[in-house]
Each structure stands twice: as C-alpha cells, then as structure tokens.
Amino acid sequence: MSTYAIRVEQLGKRYKVGGPSRSYNTIRETITDAFRAPRKRASSSDEENHFWALKDISFDVPKGDVVGIIGRNGAGKSTLLKVLARITEPTEGRAEVRGRVGSLLEVGTGFHPELTGRENVYLSGAILGMKRAEIQRKFDQIMSFAEVDRFVDTPLKHYSSGMYLRLAFAVAAHLEPAILMVDEVLAVGDLSFQRKCMGKMQEVGESGQTVLFVSHDLTAISRLATRSIVLQGGKILFYGPTSEAIRLYAEYRQNPGETLANRKDRTGDGVIQLTSITFHAPDGRDIAALGCGDPLMVAVGYTSRLPRLDYGDLALDMRVTDMLGHPITTFSTRFCNFEGDGRLNSSGTLYCTIPSMALASETYAIDLWLAYKGAVADFVVRAGEIQIVTSPYFETGQEPVKRKHGAALMKHAWSASATAPRTPRDAALTVIQS
C-alpha cells in the first residue's frame, strides 16, 4: 500500500507572455496550421514569448504530512498548488494526487454567487465527492465556524468579502478532504479569523490529513509545517525540515553574497553608511559562533560624507531577531552613553561590548539602524548573523530549547519553605510544600 499522498515527477508549467493579439483564423488557416505544426521548429522568439513558472519539480508528500511552501513573489508557489488541485494542466511531467482534495487557492473558488450559503456548501461537498448525509453532518459546524449563520439562506452575491472568505475556508477545512491545499488568501482576513484558521489547520494536520500550505508568514509556516519546500525561479531550492527551509529562505532572500557596504536593500538618506559588521571574542579574535551566555564584542564599520560627526548627534540601534524576524532584544546607543572624546572621523568603527549574550542555542540575525540628528541615515535588515551554540549556561546539564522555552536565558534560583509566606514578595519567590 502506498504511503504517499502526493508524488510529483519532473513537473513543468510554461506560460505565454506578451506578443500582439491575433485575429481569429478562417477554417482554411486552421487546417493549414495544423498540417504545418509538426514540421515547425521552436524559434528563439518562441522561447522569448514564454516563461517557465515551474520547471523540473519533483517531490513526494507522505500521507499525514503538513508541508509548507515558501519563496519570493513569482517563485511558482500558487502555480504549483493550482496544478496539484487540477485547476491548470502541467506542460510537462506528472503529478499524482491520492485522495479527495479540498483547496482554498482563491477566495470562494468554486462558489456560485447566485446560490445561497447553504446551497454552496452542498455544492462544494458534492464536487468533493461527498454524500449528502456526510455534508449534513458537518453543516452546522461549517456555518458556526464561518460565523454566517444568519445569512445561510442569502445568496452569496450579497455577502461581504470577509463573509465570503470565512465560508470558503470553513467548507474547505470541515468537509474532511484527504488533502487540504491552502494559499495565501488567509492574509485578507482579520486577525481573529487568521488565528482561528491557523488553529483549524493545526487541528487538521494533527488528525492525519495531508496539508499543503503556501504563505509568506514564516511564523505560521514554522508553527504548522513539519517539512517545507523552498521555491526559487520555478525550481525547488530545498525540501526538508521546516527550520532549515526557513533559514535558507531568509539567507537567499537577503542575498548574503553581498558585503554590507554593497547591499542595495537599505533605506535612509545615506549621509552616513554602515559598511561592515563583525563579531569578536573579548581577546579580539573574530568569531562566527559563541556559547550561550558568553561575552561578545560587535564591531560596526561606517563611512560619513559629513565634515564633522559628533557622538551626541548619533543614534545606532543593533536589533537582534530570530530567523523569522521577531525582535529578541536591542542594543542601542540611546540606552547607554558613548565612551570617547565626543567626535568621530569620516570613517571608523563603533564597538558594542555585551558582557553576556544570554540567548538560547540558535542562529540570530542583526538589524542595524543608524540616525544622525534625528534623521535616518541607514537601515539594513539582516546586516549580519551570529550563531549561539550550546554551553553549560545553567550548570545543571539541562539546556533550554528556543522553540519551546523562548530565546532569552536568565539566571535564577529556586527555594522551598514548609511554612506559608508572610509577604506577597515572599510568595512570588517561594514554593510551599504540602
């Protein structure tokens, strides 16, 4: 018995772009073109008028897996789902999908605006191959989740976009497809509905159904998907554990081959520009990784077009984020004073000394933000990366895991007492034994 839900082999999808519109052919022209077609060779101009949205795509998705699909805009994510959902035919290769598919690729795909909410639920279920009794059993749950109970017998053309979206997702998720495919459309819903959808998709995944989820929200991908596909230019760049996929995507998204001085993805007036960021041990050695809680010195190079540069007019923030871009902590010249003679040269280095980098084992990104006299001079996201590795920070042999316990490590102590605490302050620090 097969253990996979989806198998894709050498899949490709080509589209025609541009070119002048052509008038309708006569019957004679159509017949003539048909005879000429086999002898016609593809020219370079034909290739220029086409592009491959997908090329040489091959992968398997085991039954019950939740797989994320990430990549830049235009990478081919939505096209891949449309091919797998049989909405569009591939140009080459094959895709085998085993099981009933529920898809939410565009808001209200498959809905008829003239039919009521009730009628559309039954229509969608019938398209999925479900029996009427099976749809009826799920009907109340669908309407409750969608929060459109009052409008169940109102034609969909009178629904707001939010109501339309809620009903579309509720139908796709509740009619128990073997494979659920969801595109970025959830981004158009409000925050509470997005959280509701995330919870439902997590529930679907835990129930043993197969899920393919396209999103730019790396937090959602990391929460839902065990494995992920990274698409780049219509090809698979990586397929494996989600944590590695996110790290790879974050790296190539920022083009790490460029030096900080040559980065183009920056904002600011450019009066002062950040040129380098390096990490050092207290003895001055260059390092790319350090242990949990170890001291760290960060050196940030700069160049200035100003004839005079005063410490007091300068503000530099060094924000530490996780690989999803979530801020962890910030080291800023606004939080403590510069040490020096009060004036900077037109080029030089700013140093930040951190007595203890008390973060859990993980790779962290550094965002740099520089302002002069209140105006932003330079801002670069992911200007650098620092890897924190396991060390005996708590001296107990136990190491926290970032995704479970959080990023920040804090020294602390526990005590116990056989008597009741006397003050609220004592209560916050004491464990009472029964």
Q: What is the pLDDT of residues 375-385, one digit of tens each?
A: 999 999 989 88
Domains, the chain, ranges and CATH?
4-22+41-253 (3.40.50.300), 260-393+400-405 (2.70.50.60)
Distance from C-alpha of 434 to C-alpha of 426, rounded to nearest angstrom = 17
More confident residue, 332 or 288: 332
More confident residue, 17 or 411: 411
Closest CA to 205 of 225, 191, 183, 229: 225
Average pLDDT, the chain: 82
Q: Is the pTM of this model over 0.75?
A: no
**pLDDT recorded at residue 47:** 60
Determine what percent of the chain is predicted with pLDDT higher than 70.
Answer: 83
Q: How confident is the model at residue 40 (pLDDT cuts 50, 70, 90)?
A: very low
The answer, yes or no, to whether residue 76 has pLDDT greater than 80, is yes
As a dihedral over the C-alpha atoms of residue 393, residue 399, residue 400, residue 401, rounded to 10 degrees, the angle is: 130
**pLDDT recorded at residue 54:** 93
**pLDDT recorded at residue 273:** 94
Closest CA to 66 of 271, 193, 221: 221
Q: How confident is the model at residue 432 (pLDDT cuts 50, 70, 90)?
A: very low
More confident residue, 137 or 401: 137
Region 177-202 average pLDDT:
75
More confident residue, 270 or 162: 270
Region 266-294 average pLDDT:
90
**pLDDT recorded at residue 66:** 92
Give the tens place of pLDDT for each residue, 249-276.
Answer: 876 655 545 688 888 889 999 999 999 9
**pLDDT recorded at residue 325:** 81
Q: How confident is the model at residue 108 (pLDDT cuts 50, 70, 90)?
A: low
**pLDDT recorded at residue 340:** 63
Using an 8 Å Cβ cutoff, are 51 and 15 in contact?
Answer: yes
Region 269-286 average pLDDT:
92
Q: What is the 3-state secondary structure (H, E, C) of the chain?
A: CCCEEEEEEEEEEEEECCCCCCCCCCHHHHHHHHHHHHHCCCCHHHHHCEEEEEEEEEEEEECCCEEEEEECCCCCHHHHHHHHCCCCCCCEEEEEECCCEEEECCCCCCCCCCCEHHHHHHHHHHHCCCCHHHHHHHHHHHHHHHCCHHHCCCEHHHCCHHHHHHHHHHHHHHCCCCEEEECHHHHHCCHHHHHHHHHHHHHHHHCCCEEEEECCCHHHHHHHCCEEEEEECCEEEEEEEHHHHHHHHHHHHCCCCCCHHHCCCEECCCCEEEEEEEEECCCCCECCEEECCCCEEEEEEEEECCCCEEHHHEEEEEEEECCCCCEEEEEECCCCCCCCCCEECCEEEEEEEECCCCECCEEEEEEEEEEECCEEEEEEEEEEEEEEECCCCCCCCCCCCHHHHCCECCCCCCCEECCCCCCHHHHHHCEECC
The answer, yes or no, to whether residue 427 has pLDDT greater than 50, is no
Q: How confident is the model at residue 277 (pLDDT cuts 50, 70, 90)?
A: very high
Which of 19-23, 67-71, 87-91, 155-159 shows the lowest mean pLDDT across its residues?
Answer: 19-23
Region 147-162 average pLDDT:
88
**pLDDT recorded at residue 271:** 93
Structure tokens at 98: 């085993």
Kindly list the distances between the CA atom of residue 222 and the CA atoms of 145, 208, 214, 227, 329, in Å, as whole numbers in the listed order: 24, 18, 12, 9, 21
Region 353-363 average pLDDT:
90
Region 174-186 average pLDDT:
79
